Structure 1
């Protein structure tokens, strides 16, 4: 009976080592995972904006709101900590920052009825974001030599 317990403990050690490999992710690896989800959100936001807030007009030098969505795998302080962000450049409008327009469209103004598209899009593609992040996670696990599920 003691032999079986020892054999079982050896198997548990292997399982523990595999789990430790699976969960010990560097900030670079975490960033790859969150970036995969962020790219999905960027794509869905651009699609929604083109479909619901796109007017045929001459834009001149200024790009459309849907074309200015950016994805960054650094936090707002510029550090690589495993997080990713989706949004518009934090710059004045004259430098291409159109985030204020997105806020007007989503939250509304005195003259514009907001449609809360930021939360709506984020919630509607949550499953797709999770799948993209899981696919990237599985790729990282395979690179580390661990077969996850």
Structure 2
């Protein structure tokens, strides 16, 4: 019976070494978020109007750590900040404007690259770069 308890304890210890902490998870998800942020900035349409006081929508693309109910859970989000409503109109369209789906396409095309960035950061943190 003691052998079985020792095996369970070893198994539990091995699992703990594979699960990242909240801070480590933030670093892992932020690596993927930076990749998506870069790709989304590249495909965000730019207005043809030359307004010196307003920035273009692509300048509002940002990534940040996410807080759920005031607590950090280690996840990251990518979005347009206070100009998200404009991005939604451009992406989904309106009655008078056709949809461009630039956000949807960027997310779908970036999935593999984001996951590879997450894996690379996970390996660097949890496995010492192996």
TM-score, normalisation: structure 1:
0.72
Structure-1 separation of matches of 2:101 and 2:119: 27
Structure-1 separation of matches of 2:34 and 2:62: 9
> How far 1:16 sits from its partner (Å)?
6.6
The within-5 A match list for 1:1-149 is: 13=10, 17-23=13-19, 25-49=20-44, 53-75=45-67, 77-89=69-81, 97-143=82-128
Structure-2 separation of matches of 1:57 and 1:110: 22
- 8 Å CA contact retained: 2:64, 2:78: yes
Structure-1 separation of matches of 2:115 and 2:99: 27
Structure-1 separation of matches of 2:70 and 2:51: 31
Would you tell me which structure has more strand in proportion to its own residues? 2
Total equivalences in the alignment: 124
- 8 Å CA contact retained: 2:22, 2:72: yes
Structure-1 separation of matches of 2:78 and 2:69: 14
Is the alpha carbon distance of 1:140 and 1:123 closer, same or farther for their aligned partners in structure 2, counting shifts above 3 Å?
same
Structure-1 separation of matches of 2:40 and 2:103: 7
- Ranges in structure 1 where 5+ consecutive residues have no aligned partner: 1-5, 90-96
